[in-house]
Amino acid sequence: MRRLEGLWLAVGLLVAACALTEPLPPAGTVPVQLQVQNNSLRAAELAVTAGGGPIPGAVQPPSVPPATTADVVFHVPLASPWEIQANGQTLIDRSALRNRTGVIRNMGLVIERDGSSGWWCNDAC
């Protein structure tokens, strides 16, 4: 009986550990981390789109709460055009990043209080 209890305990711990890990990025993508500043009164729902539709699991976290700034990782396709959207509005595309990947500190996205959105760049954009 103790073996069965031990097995169930081990399975439970494994399930709990798996729940704490981040999902795998979509195949054929690379990470781009940008700061997202949400000044609006509603959550900013973020997406990476390619071929006319969103790429499931391509944004971590997929939303930024109201009046919050967060570092967000966008998994963008290597071999096809893509766009980053907030609340269904395109903010930035492949050409704006000029093939940069990884953590990008001099660029970011902003959602204004009125819901309009755009991107900013400090230098060398």
Mind listing the pLDDT tens digit for each residue in 1-59? 566 665 666 666 565 555 556 678 888 999 999 999 999 999 999 999 998 899 999 99
Give Cα 80 to chain centroid, integer Å. Answer: 18
Mean pLDDT for the chain?
86
Angle at 112 between CA 107 and CA 118, to 5 degrees: 40
The span from the CA of 70 to the CA of 61, in Å, is 9
- Output DSSP code: residue 99: T
Give the CATH class of 27-121: mainly beta
Cα 93 to Cα 63, 82, 105, distances in angstroms: 18, 6, 17
* Predicted local confidence at residue 32, as pLDDT: 95
Query: Which pair of tokens denotes residue 94?
Result: 């492949």
Mean pLDDT within 87-101: 89
| Mean of pLDDT values over 90-106 | 89
pLDDT at 123 over 90: no
Helix (H) or strand (E) holding 108: strand 102-111
Looking at residue 52, what DSSP letter applies?
T
